[in-house]
Amino acid sequence: MDSKKKESDRVKEGQVTYEIYAEMPDDGQRYEVIDGVLEMMSPGPSTSHQSIGGEMEYILKRSCKSDYIILHAPLDVILSQTNVLQPDLLMVHRSRTSIVSERGIEGAPDLVVEILSPGSRKRDKVVKSKVYAKHGVPEFWVVDATTKTLEQYRLSDIGQYDLLNLFGSEDFVVSDKLPCVSFQLSDIFQDIWQ
């Protein structure tokens, strides 16, 4: 089933660049370009996904807004001409605002966050994480509403992500690379309806 789904998610044959992607007419769907392949994203996020993303953005803005630009999907992160992703949340240090443009984020954010949905688990944890690592995103978080956990990955010297921490619901999320980050994980799950 994964191979059938994967084939149906691939929308356009041949190498797709940012320019081709940007010129596509708006058909109400969301797409990403991964290694030159245009792929359709899952349907709109669930209410729990939206709630988690909103709470996390609010918490991060309260503590990090003076040092970081904090943005949420849908927003293009243009990592290269053939890799354009839309993470759920991202942070860019204000000293690096040169990568923020009207088109989106043109380069590697300091942090990307993916909130898992039933149909996005493999895509977020395997496919997209490899692209983020390849393009030098230093920190990558995966939030799982089902297990109420946050996996914190750090880019290693060899260009791969290492699992640095697995935060449970009652843990405080911190990052030595993002010193403004400090919140209890349970705070982002307070309004989910599962």
Residue 161's CATH number:
3.90.1570.10
User: How far is 105 from 137, CA to CA, in rounded Å?
Assistant: 12
Determine the pLDDT at residue 193: 56
Task: Tell me which residue has tokens 């994980």.
Answer: 185
Determine the pLDDT at residue 8: 44
User: How far is 156 from 137, CA to CA, in rounded Å?
Assistant: 11
Determine the pLDDT at residue 13: 60
- For residue 123, being part of any structural domain is answered with yes
Asked if the model's pLDDT at residue 1 lies above 70, the reply is: no
Among 72, 95, 83, 98, smallest CA distance to 32 is for: 83
- For residue 5, being part of any structural domain is answered with no
- For residue 18, being part of any structural domain is answered with no
Count of domains for the chain: 1
Residue 143 domain boundaries? 43-189
Asked if the model's pLDDT at residue 3 lies above 50, the reply is: no
Determine the pLDDT at residue 66: 97
Tens-digit pLDDT profile for residues 89-108: 999 999 999 999 999 999 99
User: How far is 124 from 153, CA to CA, in rounded Å?
Assistant: 13
Mean pLDDT of 13-36: 90
Asked if the model's pLDDT at residue 143 lies above 70, the reply is: yes
- For residue 74, being part of any structural domain is answered with yes
Q: pTM value?
A: 0.89
Mean pLDDT of 180-189: 95
Tens-digit pLDDT profile for residues 30-74: 899 999 999 988 776 777 888 999 999 999 999 999 999 999 999
